[in-house]
Amino acid sequence: MVMKKIIRWRLLQAILPAAVLLSACEPSVKLTASWTEQQFQAPHFTYILVMALGKDMAKRKLGEDAVRKELQGYGFQAATSLDELGPTFAVRNDTAEMKKMLLAKGFDGVITIRALEVHEYDRWVPGDNYYGPIGYYTSFYGYYSRVWAYNPGLRATDVQVLLESNLYDVRESHLLWSAQSRAFTRDPTPRMAAHYARNIVDNLIDKHMLSK
């Protein structure tokens, strides 16, 4: 009985650090590059629409809400396409009609979000062995009995998602700014969406594309 308890404790010691590490390391998102149009001066935007493109409504809402919240945190007036124009607006083909609807709502700037590419990479995570004492037995010499504890390896799939963010001037239909980010999961969390939104809004401000 004592030996079994010691074995369980040793195995727990081997497994627990990895479990804690995995729970703490949430997949991240990073802004990798940005571009600004030098020939046009960004106007002073008074009302910005945030529009995510894609079929997954939950992910669209997560991204739009995060960017809107970040913009509002800096004092910009902003709204999401899902709230203001509904889920089908982003897939319209009549650009003239879209522009008319945006101007009628008072929007003068649009930030778009979309996933450009998704890549998956398989890799092998090797296992490891633990070798150590599991019990003490009193005898003439005294000794430790030792055991190998084997943690088998596993196959893991790494995901990289390339995201594109654009800023447009609604009235002139000019692309003023574009940025790419890399995410490392297909399933973003609210925390990741907030980090992504902070990255792009901070970059827009740093590049003088947004100003109060």
Q: What is the chain's pLDDT, residue by residue, as a tens digit (212 residues)?
A: 444 444 454 444 444 444 443 444 555 899 999 999 988 788 899 999 999 999 999 999 999 999 999 999 999 999 999 999 999 887 777 888 999 999 999 999 999 999 988 877 666 667 665 545 444 444 443 444 444 445 566 776 677 889 999 999 999 889 999 999 999 888 889 999 999 999 999 999 999 999 87
Does residue 147 sit within a domain? no
Structurally, the chain folds into a number of domains equal to 1
Does residue 62 sit within a domain? yes
Q: Distance of alpha carbon 179 from its chain centroid, rounded?
A: 14
Q: Decide if 184 contacts 161 (C-beta within 8 A).
A: yes
Q: What is the DSSP string of 83-129?
A: HHT-TTGGG---HHHHHHHHHHHT--EEEEEEEEEEEEEEEEE--EE
Does residue 149 sit within a domain? no
* Bridge partner residues of 123 (DSSP): 156
CA quadruple 28, 117, 82, 61: dihedral sign: negative
Does residue 94 sit within a domain? yes
Rounded to two decimals, the pTM is: 0.73
Does residue 14 sit within a domain? no
Which pLDDT does position 38 carry in this prediction? 87
CA 155 to CA 126: how far, in whole Å?
9
Which pLDDT does position 151 carry in this prediction? 59
Which pLDDT does position 6 carry in this prediction? 41
Does residue 181 sit within a domain? yes
Does residue 127 sit within a domain? no
Burial class (CB in 10 A: 0-12, 13-18, 19+), 174: middle
Q: The CATH number of the domain where 78 resides is what?
A: 3.40.50
Tell me which residue range forms the domain holding 109: 27-122+155-206
Element at 190 (helix H, strand E): helix 190-206
Of 32, 65, 45, 49, the residue nearest 162 (C-alpha): 32
Residues 6+ apart with CB under 8 A from 122: 155, 156, 157, 158
Does residue 8 sit within a domain? no
